C-alpha cells in the first residue's frame, strides 16, 4: 500500500511538470544526449558509491567489525539496487544491516553503524553546500543563498548538539528522546578522537563531489554549459528534499526540485528536467552490479542449505 501511494505521488508530480514542459521536446533532448559524457558520468557515480562504501567500512571498523572492503562495496551496491531498482519494502539501509547480521554481528550495532554512516554522509553534504554557497556567493539571488546557508548551519549545529545530549540524563527516561540519548552516547564512544570524525566528513564531501561531477557531465551531454559552482550550490538542496521518502526512489521529487531551483539561473526547463531524468536512469544503471551481488549471495545460501 505504501509503494502504491508513492507511485501515485510520483505520477502526480510528473503530470504537473508536463503541464509546463513539452513532452516531445524532452524526448528530443534525451535522444540527442552524448554517450561519451554519460559514460564519464557513470564512472563518477560508481566512484561515489565505492567511496561511500569505503566510508562505511571506516565507521564499521570503529565498531570492531572485521570485514574486508569488498564486503562493504558489495553490500553498498546491493543497497543501491534495492533503493533504485526494486520497489521493495526492504530499503537499502535494511539490506546493509541484514548483511552484517548474517555475518554474526549484533543487529543493534549493525544498525548504529549504518545509521552513523548516513548521518556523517548528510553532514558532509551540508558542509559542502555551506562552503560552496559562501565561496561562490552571488551565483544565486542573495535570498536563496542566505536560505541555503541557514539550513546548512542549522543541520551542522544539530549534529554538533547530538554530541552533548548524553549529558542531559533525563532524556533516557522518555521513549522517543531516549533514541537521541543513546545515539549521543554512541557518537561520543565512536568519535573520541574528533580528527577521525573530520576525516569521515571529508570522505563524505568527496562522495558528494563525485556525484555532482556525474550530474555536471550529464548536463554537458545535452549541451547545458553551466558553471560547476551552480551544481555545488543547487543540487545538495535537491538531495535534502529527497530524504523524505514520498515518491519511488526519489523520482518526481528530484525532478520537481531540480527544475524549481535551477530555473533560478537557467531558463530552459526542458533541459533541466532532462538532466534529472538522465541522472535517475544513471542511478539505476550504476546500481545494477548490486543485482549480481544479491543473486550471488542467494546462491551461496542455497548451496549451504543444500
* pLDDT for residue 55: 97
pLDDT in tens, 237-290: 999 998 887 888 888 999 999 999 999 999 899 999 999 999 999 999 999 998
**Percent of the chain whose pLDDT exceeds 70:** 95
- Residue 187 within any structural domain of the chain: no
CB neighbours of residue 151 within 10 Å: 17
pLDDT at 229: 96
Alpha helices in 136-193 (DSSP H): 142-162, 175-190
205: in domain: yes
Q: How far is CA 120 from CA 58, 113, 187, 208, in A?
A: 12, 11, 11, 12
Note the pLDDT tens digit of each residue in 122-163.
Answer: 999 999 999 999 999 999 999 999 999 999 999 999 999 988
> Per the domain annotation, does 14 fall within a domain?
no
- Give the single-character DSSP code of 126: H
- Give a yes or no: residue 23 inside a domain: no
In a domain? residue 189: no
The per-residue pLDDT for range 28-42, each reduced to its tens digit, is 999 989 999 999 999
What number of CA atoms fall less than 13 Å from residue 244's CA on the CB side? 11
* The pLDDT value given to residue 245: 78
Within-domain flag for 25: no
- Residue 152's Cβ-count burial label (10 Å; 0-12, 13-18, 19+) is buried
Please list, residue by residue across 221-253, b when 16 or more beta carbons sit within 10 angstroms of its beta carbon and e when fewer do: bbebebeeebbbbbbbbbbbbbeeeebbbbbbb
Q: Is residue 59 part of a domain?
A: yes
Instruction: Give the confidence band of 15 by pLDDT, cuts at 50, 70, 90.
Output: confident
Residue carrying the nine cell digits 557518537: 187
Among candidate residues 261, 281, 181, 176, the one with its CA nearest the CA of residue 221:
281
Q: How far is CA 168 from CA 26, 120, 158, 182, 191, in A?
A: 54, 23, 15, 11, 19
Q: What is the pTM of this model?
A: 0.91
Is position 184 within any domain?
A: no
71-86 residue pLDDT tens: 999 999 999 998 888 7
Give yes or no for a contact between 42 and 285, defined as CB atoms under 8 angstroms apart. Answer: yes
Residue 182 has pLDDT above 60, yes or no: yes
Task: Decide if pLDDT at 300 tops 70.
Answer: no
Who's near 257: CB < 8 A, 6+ residues apart?
A: 237, 238, 241, 242
Domain housing 271: 2-6+31-156+196-305
Residue 152 in grid coordinates: 546548512
Q: What does the CA dihedral 243, 245, 250, 252 come to, rounded to 10 degrees?
A: -120
Q: Which residue's C-alpha cell is 554549459?
A: 225
Give yes or no for a contact between 153 and 136, defined as CB atoms under 8 angstroms apart: no
Looking at the 3D structure of the chain, how many domains does it have? 1
Amino acid at each position: 500500500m505504501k509503494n502504491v501511494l508513492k507511485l501515485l505521488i510520483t505520477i502526480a508530480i510528473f503530470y504537473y511538470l508536463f503541464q509546463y514542459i513539452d513532452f516531445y521536446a524532452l524526448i528530443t533532448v534525451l535522444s540527442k544526449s552524448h554517450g561519451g559524457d554519460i559514460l564519464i558520468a557513470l564512472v563518477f557515480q560508481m566512484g561515489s558509491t565505492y567511496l561511500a562504501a569505503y566510508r562505511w567500512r571506516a565507521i564499521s571498523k570503529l565498531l570492531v567489525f572485521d570485514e574486508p572492503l569488498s564486503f562493504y562495496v558489495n553490500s553498498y551496491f546491493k543497497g543501491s539496487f534495492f533503493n533504485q531498482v526494486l520497489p521493495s519494502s526492504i530499503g537499502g539501509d535494511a539490506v546493509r544491516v541484514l548483511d552484517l547480521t548474517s555475518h554474526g554481528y549484533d543487529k543493534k550495532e549493525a544498525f548504529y553503524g549504518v545509521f552513523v554512516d548516513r548521518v556523517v554522509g548528510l553532514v558532509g553534504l551540508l558542509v559542502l553546500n555551506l562552503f560552496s554557497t559562501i565561496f561562490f556567493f552571488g551565483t544565486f539571488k542573495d535570498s536563496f543563498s542566505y536560505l541555503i546557508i541557514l539550513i546548512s548551519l542549522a543541520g551542522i549545529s544539530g549534529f554538533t548538539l547530538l554530541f552533548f545530549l548524553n549529558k542531559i540524563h533525563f532524556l533516557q527516561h522518555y521513549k522517543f528522546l531516549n533514541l537521541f540519548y543513546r545515539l549521543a552516547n554512541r557518537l561520543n564512544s565512536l568519535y573520541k578522537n574528533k580528527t577521525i570524525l573530520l576525516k569521515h566528513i571529508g570522505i563524505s564531501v568527496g562522495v558528494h563531489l563525485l556525484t555532482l561531477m556525474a550530474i555536471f557531465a550529464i548536463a554537458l551531454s545535452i549541451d547545458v554549459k553551466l558553471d560547476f559552482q551552480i551544481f555545488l550550490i543547487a543540487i545538495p538542496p535537491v538531495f535534502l528534499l529527497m530524504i523524505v521518502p514520498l515518491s519511488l526512489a526519489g523520482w518526481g521529487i528530484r525532478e520537481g526540485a531540480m527544475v524549481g531551483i535551477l530555473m533560478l539561473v537557467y531558463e530552459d526547463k526542458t533541459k533541466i528536467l532532462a538532466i534529472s531524468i538522465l541522472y535517475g536512469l544513471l542511478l539505476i544503471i550504476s546500481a545494477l552490479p548490486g543485482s549480481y551481488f544479491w543473486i550471488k549471495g542467494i546462491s551461496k545460501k542455497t548451496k549451504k542449505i543444500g
